[in-house]
Structure 1
Amino acid sequence: MFRETVTHAGGDTEGTASEAHALMLLRRAARRGYAIEATAPGGALITWTCHQLGGVEHRSISLVPQMPVGTLTDAVTRDLGLIADLRPVEYVFNDHGRRIILAGLTEISAMMTATLRARQLVTEHRGTVRLTLTARLGLLAAAHRTTTTEPDSWSRPADAGMAALTAGLNRPGRRAGMINRTASAATCSCGRLRAFGGDRADARRLARAHRRDAAASFVEALPVSFTTAVTA
């Protein structure tokens, strides 16, 4: 379940959204080209603009999970990956009578199984265990942690590996021989983003665009089996 906040011309409307409803909102947003961003707790933010006679209005839908995913350790991330990728995935009981998840031929320990269940990162539908939408969104956000660098501002050309020449000469305020470098780098933990903006605000826009592209691709790539399980 999610707490849903819709921001519109009349203000904010709050309510709750089931997993199926949240998935419908994400799919509709992707079809319409709205911006989607996954959030670290396992939610999402959908934003778009609406052109009215009085100008442009900004609208949004915020989905905040009632049970945040919490810290996604390497062990949790690995086991969630097994559940997402392997088939079949089901609950079985081990030799000690404790419930475990069997993903393909890989057993997930009873302790980890209990942890994933308690944190609502997995659910069961007709005998098949799958990740919840909250877990998938949390993993998406964790896989795309973006950063931007502080611009160098005033520095000497030699510090940037540039020939000194006459760059920055005759600058007042003890800046003689220095140049103003405002460029900022935007990178992502996924390794597929390394871009430079004219300034830090520009770099942040590049990072935001990357996260939104990743979220749109995520929604479009959700397997049919997941959609069927949610809406059944």
Structure 2
Amino acid sequence: MFRETVTHAGGSTEGTASEAHALMLLRRAARRGYAIEATRDGGALITWIRRELRGGTAHRSISLTPQMPVGKLTEALTGDLHAIRDLRPARYVLNDVGRRIILAGLAEISPLATAALRARQLVTAAERGTVRLTLTARLGLLAAEHRTTTTEPEGWSRPADLGMHGVTAGLNRPGRRAGMLNRTASAATCSCGQLRAFGGDRAEARRLARDHRHDMAAAFVEALPADFTTAVTA
């Protein structure tokens, strides 16, 4: 379940959204080209610009906040989530001493870890005893897999410090900046390794990083299986 907050012309409205409803909102947003961003707590933010009948534009948004946040994703927990997501079919089985575990491919998730996944509502029972990640877990993983950063511009420096010997610049600049260059470029990178771009300044680099996160979220929504449906958390 999610807490849904919709901003509109009259202010904002809050309510609750099931996993199925949240997924419908995300798929509709992807079809319409709205910006989607996954949040680290396992939620999502949908934003778009609405054209008004009387002219002008207005910003609108839908925020989906999980009632049970994902919490800290340790390396071990992330490995278990990846196994359930990628090694199919994942299912509940009983181990040699009768304790319930998750078997994903050939990988066995311990009884303790299985219990923790269930308690944190990161997994849910699907058809025929199979197990899948909840939408919250998938969104939390998506946010963790695409952590973007931007670099601080170098700012003012002398050409000689940059290896540009014999170059002069701005000899009449005030504030003790005579003969100095202002380097405003900022790099934008993502932990996934698919983004390494440069902006003319840090604001542009942040825009590049934000666009990358939006692109990855849209691709994530489009790649969700067609039969990804709600099931009662087990």
TM-score band, normalised by shorter chain: over 0.9
Matched, 1:66 2:67: yes
Offset at 1:54?
4.1
**In 1: Cα distance, 2:206 partner to 2:124 partner:** 36
Matched, 1:40 2:31: no
Instruction: Give SS of 1:224's match.
Output: coil
Which residue in the other structure is 1:115 paired with? 116
Instruction: Give SS of 1:230's match.
Output: coil
* CA spacing shift, 1:114–1:218, aligned 2, 3 Å: same
Q: For 1:159-174, what aligned pairs fall within 5 Å after superposition?
A: 159-174=161-176
What is the TM-score when the length of structure 1 is the normalising length? 0.95
Offset at 1:181?
1.0
Which residue in the other structure is 1:78 paired with? 79
**In 2: Cα distance, 1:140 partner to 1:128 partner:** 22
Query: Deviations for 1:85-111, whole angstroms, at most 9, x for unmatched residues?
Result: 112211111112211001112111111
Instruction: Give SS of 1:216's match.
Output: helix
Amino acid at match of 1:217: A
Matched, 1:20 2:17: no
**In 1: Cα distance, 2:212 partner to 2:160 partner:** 32
Instruction: Give SS of 1:117's match.
Output: helix
Number of corresponding residues: 230
Query: Deviations for 1:115-162, whole angstroms, at most 9, x for unmatched residues?
Result: 111111100012110000000000000001111111111112233343
Amino acid at match of 1:119: R
Give unpaired runs (5+ residues) of structure 1.
none
Say which of 132, 146, 149 aligns to 2:148: 146
What is the TM-score when the length of structure 2 is the normalising length? 0.94
**In 2: Cα distance, 1:15 partner to 1:29 partner:** 18
* CA spacing shift, 1:175–1:130, aligned 2, 3 Å: same
Which residue in the other structure is 2:31 paired with? 31
Amino acid at match of 1:62: S
**RMSD value, Cα:** 1.5
Give unpaired runs (5+ residues) of structure 2.
none
Amino acid at match of 1:167: A
Instruction: Give SS of 1:25's match.
Output: helix
> Could you tell me whether the CA contact under 8 Å between 2:160 and 2:167 is conserved in 1?
no
Identical residues among aligned pairs (%): 78
